[in-house]
Amino acid sequence: MKTLTERLSQYAAYHRDRRNIATHFVGIPMISFAVAVLLARPHWQAGGLALSPAVAVTLAAVIFYLALDLRYGLTMLLLMGLSLTGATWLAGQSTAVWLTSGLGLFVVGWVIQFIGHYFEGKKPAFVDDLMGLLVGPLFVVAEAGFALGLRDPVRRAIEANVGPTLIRTRGRPAAA
């Protein structure tokens, strides 16, 4: 299995423009929450617990994140647990509310993502590696931590692999 730094570096190679990263702070949580909302509606009871595909996907993702890094994994557990709670609540609403919120968030989230990649001048990472869909939420958490001055050795390792973040002009660094 690839290491945390390898996964984040591979994803970061497609995300060096700060404007693109900023759009990911909005788009990725919207998409992740939308997927949880859409997968939370079909459910079954087991031992008094409501289980759904959203629970299974969340559990699998959290195991992946914990295997990569304990601190990031625990952060993702907390965030995904909150997302699952909200998604389960929305899934319990009328079909119109559930479907409109799930599909609306999904579509708007992707529009925001593609705007970011327009700034970047590069295609999204998942086009070359579907694991990018799973690494994206972790990348957002890592970038938020870097902005707060956390996990600097991880940030430095990523930058050693793919370079620093910049403001780009359609794929080229902007003039200083």
**pLDDT tens for each residue of 153-165:** 999 999 999 999 8
Residue 128 confidence (pLDDT) above 90: no
**pTM as predicted:** 0.90
Q: Mean pLDDT for the chain?
A: 92
pLDDT tier for residue 55 given thresholds of 50, 70 and 90: very high
Average pLDDT of 102-115? Answer: 97
| Token code pair at residue 98 | 């559930």
pLDDT tier for residue 174 given thresholds of 50, 70 and 90: low
∠ CA 144-8-58, nearest 5°, is: 75
pLDDT tier for residue 176 given thresholds of 50, 70 and 90: very low
DSSP state, 125? Answer: G
Question: CA separation (Å) from 73 to 40, 82, 146, 175?
Answer: 22, 14, 16, 38
pLDDT, position 137 = 97
